[in-house]
Each structure stands twice: as C-alpha cells, then as structure tokens.
C-alpha cells in the first residue's frame, strides 16, 4: 500500500521511539513535566513568541484560539474552505459560539478583502473577534499564503486592534517553500499553532504559541476541554525529535509532490497543474465520482482522499520515497485514465 491519504499517516521511527522511552516525565497538569516544558520552550523560540502550550491536536489548538480571542456571537474572518470551518465538526459554532465571515477563493486573501469585513460591535452588528489564516492551506492544495500579504494583514489588524491567528498545522511547509525562517511567518500573528503530527513524523500533538498571557488563558481552556494530559512528556519527546530532525527534509516531500503532479498531468479525465503544487499536497480534479475512483485506486494499492465529489487529494510525507511516488503515479494514471 502506498498511503497518500494524509501526512498524518506517518509512524514514529526507531530513533523517535527511543527518545519517547527515555523521556524525563512529570505531571503536566501540574506543569511539572520537564520534557513538555522543553518542547514548549523550543517551540516558542522557533516561532518568535513568548510562550508555547502543548495540546493534543490541531483541532483543539484551533478551538482554544477561538475561545481565547473571540466571544460568543463574535465573527471570525477566515477562508470559506478553512479546516476550522469544514473539518472540525462545527466546533467553532457549537463550543466557542462564534460565527464565520468567510472569504471565497483558495484560502489566500488580500488585506482589502480582510479590511472590508472587519465590523465594529454595535447594537446591530456582531463585531469581529478574530482574523484567521491557514498556511499552508489544506483544501486550497497546500498553497502558501504570500508572506508580503500576511505582513499587510497583520498591520491592518494591529491598526484596528483585532487579533490575528494562524492555523499553521503545516507552517513549516510554507517556510520551506518560501525559503524563509518559520519565525518570519509566525511572528506576524497574535497567536499561532503548528502540528507535530503532520509530515514531521510525531504521533500526536500540536503547539499553540503566543504571549505569556495568551498561554495562561489557553491553559485554562485546554483543561476545560479535557486536554490536560499527565505524563505527556512521552509525546513531547517525539515532538522534540520531530522538530530537531524532520523539518529540513520537507523539501523532499515538496519535490515528490511536484513530481507526482508532473507524472499525472495529461492523464485523461484528470485536471492538475504541476506549477501550482507548492508544497506536499497534490489536489487533482477528476471527471468521474471521486469516492468511487478512490475505492478503485485502493484496490490497486494506492490510497488518496476525496474531500468532495470531484477532487482527490494526495499528500507526500516521510513514509513515501521517490520510487513509491513513481509507482503510485503509474497506477493512478492507469486507473483514472482508463
């Protein structure tokens, strides 16, 4: 099986498992786990923020950010196809009580599109609680939000005193693709999160970064949501290992994704633009029913994910090398082009 459903499918390496076994542990609800402290400190340092908070998942990181920044009934300005809108079971509405003011397009918007949506709190209007960016953008096809535009949006938010949050589940991918230090991207935001379990090879976890005050408030919501973990240093050790060893190699995943797109271009019934593949996600358009085509591919040993009826997503990661990508491409061509 060549599993291209997601970069969450990676398994911890032997070295990572050793690090987990050897981790120094304590009770993290009491803030006494030294390995979690180390991961939070390293994360904050890498992102150029004051503090970090280890949380079980990217979804919880997103929910906590909305709870900290936005009140019930407030609006969160974001892309219409954002993960927080589409793939978190409605948590923002159900648990944070926010409503989304959604910008159409592929998840990359301009400062003008943001500014025209920022609303004051009046006796009619809900008021903007938070501006949200996702970088790279998952359903946009792993697209990179241009740093120059992020800087403009950050300045506009500061001017209007509206917090700006980054869902940076794959922010390292964006940094590698743009050839910048991840801090350059991360420090534009009031707060941000990144995932250790997407292509970095760790089994569990995300880190939320922001000011010390943001961390204090986020810590209380983490506990409220049942995300206070005890000897979670076993997981943080995997995260530290991932941060130290598996970031630079993301360029390989990007090259593999681009190669896959090149090999698929021109296949009958498939729409894909290799030049649009910026990171590790290849989103193809298909003429037939995507879930049905995915089942056919699965039977031939290649796995992808259909986010909707007309698209299939393939994601490269450290568990798939160039040879596997070439094998996958020839199977996909045969099945979809038939």
Short-list 332, 178, 184, 193, CA closest to 259: 332
169 vs 219, beta carbon nearer ligand TLP: 169
Please state at what angle helix 233-245 crosses helix 34-47, rounded to 10 degrees: 30
Stretch that binds ligand TLP, among 37-45, 53-61, 156-164, 254-262 (CB under 6 A): 53-61
Rg (CA), the chain: 20
Q: Do 83 and 62 meet the contact criterion of CB atoms below 8 Å apart?
A: yes
- Would you call the peptide bond into 318 cis, given omega within 30 degrees of 0 as the criterion? no
* Nearest Cα to Cα of residue 37 among 277, 244, 239: 239
Residue 232 as a binder of ligand TLP (CB under 6 A): the answer is no
Q: Write the binding mask 255 to 294 for ligand TLP: x where contact by CB under 6 A, - elsewhere.
A: ----------------------------------------
Smallest separation (angstroms) from ligand TLP to the CB of 114: 19
Our finding on whether 40 is near ligand TLP (CB under 6 A) is no
Count CB-CB contacts under 10 A for residue 112: 11
State the number of binding residues for ligand TLP (CB under 6 A).
15
Question: Smallest gap, in angstroms, from Cβ of residue 205 to ligand TLP?
Answer: 8
* CA–CA distance, 208 with 191 (Å, rounded to integer): 7
- Other Cβ atoms less than 10 A from the Cβ of 127: the count is 15
Sites for ligand TLP among residues 148-187 (CB under 6 A): 167, 169
CA–CA separation, 325 and 256 (whole Å): 7
Question: Looking at beta carbons only, is 195 or 207 nearer to ligand TLP?
Answer: 195
Q: Rounded CA gap, 44 and 38, in Å?
A: 10
138 interacts with ligand TLP by CB under 6 A = yes
Out of 3, 134, 178, 253, name the contact with ligand TLP by CB under 6 A: 134
Q: Considering the complex, what minimum distance in angstroms separates the CB of residue 99 from ligand TLP?
A: 19
Closer residue to ligand TLP in complex, CB, 62/316:
62
Residues near ligand TLP (CB under 6 A) are: 6, 8, 57-59, 62, 83, 87, 134, 138, 167, 169, 195, 197, 206
């Amino acid at each position: 099986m060549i599993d291209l459903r997601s970069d969450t499918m990676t398994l911890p390496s032997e070295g990572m498992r050793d690090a987990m076994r050897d981790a120094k542990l304590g009770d993290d609800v009491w803030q006494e786990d030294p390995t979690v402290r180390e991961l939070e400190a390293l994360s904050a340092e890498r992102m150029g923020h004051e503090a970090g908070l280890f949380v079980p998942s990217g979804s919880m990181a997103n929910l906590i950010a909305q709870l900290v920044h936005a009140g019930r009934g407030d609006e969160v300005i974001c892309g219409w196809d954002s993960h927080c809108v589409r793939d978190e079971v409605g948590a923002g509405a159900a648990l944070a009580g926010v409503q989304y003011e959604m910008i159409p397009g592929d998840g990359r918007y301009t400062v003008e599109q943001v500014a025209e949506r920022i609303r004051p709190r009046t006796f009619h209007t809900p008021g903007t609680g938070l501006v949200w960016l996702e970088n790279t953008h998952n359903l946009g096809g792993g697209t990179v939000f241009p740093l120059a535009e992020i800087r403009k949006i950050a300045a506009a938010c500061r001017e209007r005193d509206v917090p700006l949050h980054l869902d940076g589940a794959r922010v390292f991918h964006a940094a590698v693709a743009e050839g910048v230090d991840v801090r350059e991207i991360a420090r534009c935001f009031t707060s941000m999160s990144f995932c250790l379990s997407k292509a970095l090879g760790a089994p569990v976890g995300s880190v939320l970064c922001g000011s010390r005050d943001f961390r204090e408030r986020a810590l209380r919501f983490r506990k409220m949501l049942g995300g206070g973990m005890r000897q979670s240093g076993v997981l943080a050790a995997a995260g530290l290992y991932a941060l130290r060893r598996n970031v630079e190699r993301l360029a390989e995943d990007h090259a593999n994704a681009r190669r896959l797109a090149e090999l698929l271009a021109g296949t009958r019934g498939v729409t894909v633009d290799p030049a649009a593949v910026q990171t590790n996600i290849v989103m193809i358009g298909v003429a037939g029913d995507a879930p049905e085509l995915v089942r056919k591919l699965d039977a031939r040993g290649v796995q992808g994910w259909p986010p909707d009826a007309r698209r299939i997503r393939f994601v490269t990661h450290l568990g798939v090398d160039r040879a596997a990508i070439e094998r996958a491409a020839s199977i996909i061509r045969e099945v979809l082009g038939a």
